[in-house]
Amino acid sequence: MPGNARRSAPSAGGELRARAHRSWEDEVLPALVRYTAIPCLSPDFDEGWEAAGHLTEAASLLGAWARSRAVDGLHAEVRARSGRTPLLLVDAPATGGRAGTVLVYGHLDKQPPLGEWRDGLGPFTAVREGDRLYGRGTADDGYALFAAVTAVEILDAAGIPRPRVVVLVEASEESGSPDLPGHLDDVDAELGSPDLVVCLDSGCLGYDRLWLTTSLRGNLLATVSVQVLTEGVHSGSAGGIVPTSFRLLRLLLDRLEDPRTGEIRLRALHADDRPATPQSPPSEWVAREAFPVVPGLELEGGSDDERLVRSAWTPVLAVTGMDGIPAVRDGGNVLRPSTTAKISLRLPPSVDAASATAALESALRADPPSGARVEVHVDNAATGWAAPPIDGWVDEAFTRASDEVFGTPPGSFGEGGTIPFLAMLTERYPGVPLLATGVLGPGSNAHGPNEFLHLPMAEAVTVATARLVEAAGNRSTGAAG
């Protein structure tokens, strides 16, 4: 940074920070607690979502909260259409004659509970412990609407002029954002072309600074089924004669990965441009602490630096669900007719999901082991994402926010997860700077039990959003920053 010369008011940073803190404590948390109580699962995890109405209830709650804020002319509306998850659109008109539009993205649909939550915690009951607010969807991504609208509110309260801000909160993200393109088509004319897109659904490597997401992995979801019998039979009589579907499925999975190392065997799923080292020094990120590993577990990758690169750039297979196998207590001496696995393959940012899909299908469909009936269904194929280069003014605003909240410059890293809408937005708004950041850091466990929102990080992202909005306005009017 070129020193403090560009800061118009040295106290303004402290003021925004203090306002963000007060808003979070007094205004946001009570509403976020109510949002946490709503089981608004993403459609993939709740077939009856439309009749249940939880997504609409959550959108209405967030919309009503946004409307209650002290922002002149703010308009919040839930866009609903049969068969499509609702969209919450919040539009805050510009102040101080600033031109341009900043689009802020978040989502309100949630992952399912996924596992046993610790004693005293539960997915749909918000529990605060110090800096943490536990509950499903607090961090992924319920906080986003609150951070975005609070950013607008604290700028207005501080008398800092800003451009128009549109906050778009969708409800199909955890299912791969299938409804987002249709919604974007519908709001295209009223939205116009934004000058900056800020995405608040990403991660961080620590809670010591702001983090910029520079790439995401793609994700290939498929179901593989192996059938050997038309009905189950006594395993004592058929065992040794009829091959088991589990073993044959194992053989198929071995075509995808080396079972000893996890190395993916399909060449098309590897990137040619994998970097050798992580982008930022990983600060205090320690893999062993970032995940709840059991004592003694040997991690993959030789060093934490290498693990960061692997997390961003290595293809990897996970079996995320199985059918055809009873729970342990119900298991009998049966040679089961079939085994079905749901698999998730993470893809490096530069690997095309369509090519990866073709490679996967031909590997699994060729030469069925023992002549078994093999069925492969590709459920979703999302290509990864590499962030377009960040403009100087965006970088400067983000750096300023990290500096004023933490006293440290921001870090940047490649995210191991997949956020399909980032690729959609990059495609839809070519050349528009897109900044992805978020609160999903060590231990926050967004897709597992005991998810929590790190409250100081949420406040920091709020201040960062405010600074980015402010900077976009200064830029579009040519005002000094």
Q: Which residue has the tokens 């922002």?
A: 71
Tokens of 75: 């308009």
Structure tokens at 164: 């128009």
Q: Which is nearer to Zn ion, 359 or 436 (CB)?
A: 436
Name the CA dihedral angle for 92, 94, 100, 106, rounded to a multiple of 10 degrees: -20
Least distance to Zn ion, CB of residue 344, Å: 16
SS3 for 169? strand
Query: Which residue's entry shows tokens 């459609």?
Result: 43
Per the listing, tokens 């749909």 go with: 124
**Helix spans in 291-332 (H):** 304-313
Shortest spacing between CB 141 and Zn ion, in angstroms: 4
Residue 141 vs 208, nearer CB to Zn ion: 141
**By C-beta, is 42 or 338 nearer to Zn ion?**
42
Helical (H) or strand (E) element with 223: strand 218-227
Pairing of strands 334-335, 411-415: unpaired
Residue 389: CB atoms within 10 Å: 10
- The CB-of-274 to Zn ion minimum distance in angstroms stands at 25
**Smallest separation, CB 161 to Zn ion (Å):** 31
Between CA 49 and CA 41 the distance in angstroms is 8
Q: Which is nearer to Zn ion, 74 or 199 (CB)?
A: 199
- The DSSP annotation for 142-156 comes to IHHHHHHHHHHHHHH
By DSSP bridging, strand 452-454 and strand 196-199 are unpaired
At its nearest, how many Å lie between Zn ion and the CB of residue 199?
Answer: 10
Q: Least separation, in Å, of the C-beta of 311 and Zn ion? A: 17
Q: How far apart are CA 37 and CA 124, in angstroms?
A: 4
163/384 with CB nearer Zn ion: 384
For residue 53, give both structure tokens.
Answer: 């109405």
Please identify, using beta-carbon distances, which residue of 141 and 415 lies nearer to Zn ion.
Answer: 141
Min separation Cβ 96 and Zn ion, Å: 33
- Nearest residue (CB) to Zn ion, 98 versus 217: 217
- Residue 114 CB, nearest distance to Zn ion (Å)? 14
State the residues that interact with Zn ion by CB under 5 A: 140-141, 201
Q: How far is CA 223 from CA 252, 381, 425, in A?
A: 12, 12, 28
CB count, 10 Å around CB of 233? 17
Least separation in angstroms between residue 139's CB and Zn ion is: 8
Give the distance from CA 357 to its chain's centroid.
22
